[in-house]
Amino acid sequence: MIITKQKDIEEIYEMTKPYSKILVAGCDGCCQPPRSINEAKVLAQMLELKARSEGRDLKWKAITVLRQCDDRIAATTLRPFIEEYDAIVSLACGLGVGMLNRIFPTILTFPAQNSMFGGAENNGENYFVEYCETCGDCLLGVTGGICPMAGCAKNLSNGPCGGQVEGKCEVGGYIHDCAWVKIWERLKKFNRLDLFTIYRPPRNYYLWSSPRYIHIYEPISNEEEPKKEEKI
Residues that bind another protein (CB under 8 A): 153-167, 170-172, 174, 180-181, 184, 188, 193, 196-199, 201-202, 205
Nearest residue (CB) to another protein, 36 versus 155: 155
CA distances from 144 to 126, 191, 231 (A): 25, 11, 32
Provide the sign of the torsion angle of the four alpha carbons 192, 197, 198, 204, taken in this order. positive
Nearest residue (CB) to another protein, 210 versus 221: 210
Work out how close the CB of 172 gets to another protein at its nearest, in angstroms, rounded to a whole number: 8
Q: Give the separation between CA 214 and CA 212, rounded to whole angstroms.
A: 7
Question: At 137, phi and psi to the nearest 5?
Answer: -150, 80
Nearest residue (CB) to another protein, 49 versus 116: 116
Q: Which residues have a Cβ under 8 Å from the Cβ of 209 and sit 6 or more positions away?
A: none
Work out how close the CB of 136 gets to another protein at its nearest, in angstroms, rounded to a whole number: 15
Q: How far is CA 40 from the centre of its chain?
A: 19
Nearest residue (CB) to another protein, 22 versus 181: 181
Work out how close the CB of 116 gets to another protein at its nearest, in angstroms, rounded to a whole number: 16
Work out how close the CB of 122 gets to another protein at its nearest, in angstroms, rounded to a whole number: 24
